[in-house]
Structure 1
Amino acid sequence: MMETFDEPRLAAAGPRDLSDILERGGIVYLPRCPVPLPAAADLDVLRNELPAHMKRKNVSYHPEGDRVSGLATTAPVYATTHRVLTRLRKDIAAWTRQVMPGLMQGADIGTCSFRPMEEAGRAIDAHKASELIHIDAGAYGATNGNRILRFLVNANPTRDRVWASKGDFASVFARHAERAGFTGPGGHVGRLEKNLFDRLFSVLVRSLAAAVPMAKVLDSSPYDRAMKRFHDYLKDNPGFQAEVETHVEMRFAPGSAWLVFADGVSHGCLSGQYCFIWTALTPLANMRHPEYAPINVLRAAA
């Protein structure tokens, strides 16, 4: 499931080597983050000063509004947080375009976030808990079947970030589609393409977003709603969470980075503190292995 690319292997990689692994439900592990990390003084601010000013579990830079959510603009750490996240977002975008040009053509570069809280043992809504293994659904608006690519960096100076997985989307869906109500007696995937009402709603959201950029997160699609159904089922299902035979744990060392299609690999963060998370929507049309894309797995089951 996890493929390691140390510096020599990364330097020798072809333009589709990493993206082929990602499309097939793998995780690309980079023992040394290939983009410059923030300066030590800036990391100190984000680790030690930022949490006292946060309104949510993480802070995110949203390019459509050029602002950081989860943090008041009057907070003394706002300027540093904004500068760090915008620079890191730009650097990761440039790196991914360089090493995976075919995958990243026309990609929508989304948010760049920082999570300073310890993930283990957090008392929050189960549907928002990172510890519970899940498949990501939606990414700040409608994906319409495009893929959710994440680039993560463990910014903890001393501790690993520990993940768990129970397989890629196709295998998890095959095991749980009937119990989740997608197949079998009374089950249904439902339509996955937008109808007239959906298209009109998307036009309305785009019009609103022209005046209020953050309004784009209101958009949705039948596919994204189906994925949210499956996301919630996985988090709400003790049987799935307790599966032993499919359970795999992975450790990401301090200063390392990893890439994953978060809609295509089940994952949960068992423990870890201080992590950057960058997101892009990559066009479904760019996939060399479209049969692994969740929307096509759902279409095959419909």
Structure 2
Amino acid sequence: MSSFESTRKVFSSLESFDATAWDGPFTSEDRERAVDGLESGRVLYFKNLPFSLEAQEKIFLSTTWSDQEAKNISFDPTEGRLRGARIEGADGDKLVGMMSRYASGARQFLHSLLPPYASTLRLARTSFRPHEVEGRPVQSYRKDDTRLHVDAFPSRPNRGARILRVFTNIHPAGKARVWQIGEPFEAYASRFLPTVSRPLPGLAQIESILGITKGVRTPYDHIMLHLHDRTKGDANYQREAPRQEVAFAAGSTWVVFTDQVLHAAISGQFVLEQTFELPVAAQCRAERSPLRVLERLTGRALAA
């Protein structure tokens, strides 16, 4: 029997909603279903929720503005800095304006949809993904997002906080963004956790002092980063693991905990994305978080 046989059964990865406006309105049933869906490891899908570009912003629907090295153009609101772009002056201001407008809309959207999270959601980076995913060369397997993976930040330890992301497909010609979504987190973690050794004593402190990481990496961060790398580097897993393929239509928006949901971007171009961080304590069912699952599997505290 295949080692994947137990998770080969059909699983539902999407929770669909009919909203057409970023501020809803959302019913109490919508909100409960959204929170439960996210915390259960599903993707919230809003097929008819576009982000409309202003006339002056449509010039950015091109790969011309990318520095051709980074896969994304990103904006960090805490630094006020644009990365991955080859742009300056008035055009740079317009691009930042577009991304900031998306960030504001995404935050308003989540505050309305997910009231239990609203007071503790922290706005992180905004990204614009102008490149076609399919066929794009990558420097290493670790950076190949066409392989199934969960998100973990090598240089930015999050100490157990959740990674909540909002995506919107803004492709002008109607091309879908195609993802593959993998098996439930606990089954996946149980498979790879035995291959992850404990971190070397003192290494996390040294990396922080040297500026390799922005803060001290916890045992949780160490495990998540190794799970990310082990998964992407395992050719058999990438070939044989159970998955569901989903096409996110142009003009649609989806929301997902990318630290919990195994995902791979297979094809598509022109997507906006907003990252938020959420404390585990803000969850309605904290025991479903990767931190609590990994603590239960390892039998020890991981975010101290």
Please give the TM-score of this superposition, normalised by the length of structure 1: 0.83
Q: Is the 8 A contact 1:122 1:129 kept in 2?
A: no
How has the CA–CA distance of structure 1 residues 5 and 114 changed in structure 2, closer, same or farther, with 3 Å as cutoff? same
Aligned-residue offset at 1:37 = 2.6
**How is 1:8-87 mapped onto 2 (pairs within 5 angstroms)?**
11-12=26-27, 13-33=29-49, 36-42=51-57, 44-48=58-62, 50-51=64-65, 53-72=67-86, 74=88, 77-87=91-101
C-alpha distance in structure 2 between counterparts of 1:110 and 1:30, whole Å: 22
Amino acid at match of 2:17: F
Any idea what SS the aligned residue of 2:26 has? helix
Amino acid at match of 2:14: M
Amino acid at match of 1:81: L
Q: Give the match for residue 5 of structure 2.
A: none
Aligned-residue offset at 1:38 = 2.2
C-alpha distance in structure 1 between counterparts of 2:280 and 2:153, whole Å: 14
Match of 1:220 among 202, 217, 222: 217
Larger proportion of helix:
1
Q: Does 1:163 align with 2:179?
A: yes
C-alpha distance in structure 2 between counterparts of 1:160 and 1:119, whole Å: 11
Deviations 1:76-126 (A, max 9, x none): 631221111111111111110121021232121101100100101222121
Match of 1:233 among 220, 223, 230: 230
Q: Does 1:144 align with 2:144?
A: no
How has the CA–CA distance of structure 1 residues 197 and 134 changed in structure 2, closer, same or farther, with 3 Å as cutoff? closer
Question: Which ranges in structure 1 are unaligned for 5 or more consecutive residues?
Answer: 183-187, 209-214
Q: For the aligned residues, what is the CA RMSD?
A: 2.7
Q: Does 1:153 align with 2:168?
A: yes
**How is 1:237-256 mapped onto 2 (pairs within 5 angstroms)?**
237-243=234-240, 246-256=242-252
Aligned-residue offset at 1:247 = 1.7
Any idea what SS the aligned residue of 2:220 has? helix
Q: Is the 8 A contact 1:163 1:270 kept in 2?
A: yes
> Which runs of 4 or more aligned residues in structure 1 lie more than 6 Å from their structure 2 counterparts after TM superposition?
199-202
Question: Which ranges in structure 2 are unaligned for 5 or more consecutive residues?
Answer: 1-12, 299-304
Q: Is the 8 A contact 1:49 1:77 kept in 2?
A: no
Aligned-residue offset at 1:49 = 5.9
How has the CA–CA distance of structure 1 residues 79 and 219 changed in structure 2, closer, same or farther, with 3 Å as cutoff? farther
Q: Give the match for residue 110 of structure 1.
A: 124
Q: Is the 8 A contact 2:171 2:251 kept in 1?
A: yes
C-alpha distance in structure 2 between counterparts of 1:29 and 1:226, whole Å: 29
Q: Give the match for residue 295 of structure 1.
A: 291
Aligned residues: 279
Q: Percent identity?
A: 26
Match of 2:266 among 253, 263, 270: 270
Any idea what SS the aligned residue of 2:228 has? helix
Please give the TM-score of this superposition, normalised by the length of structure 2: 0.82
Any idea what SS the aligned residue of 1:144 has? coil
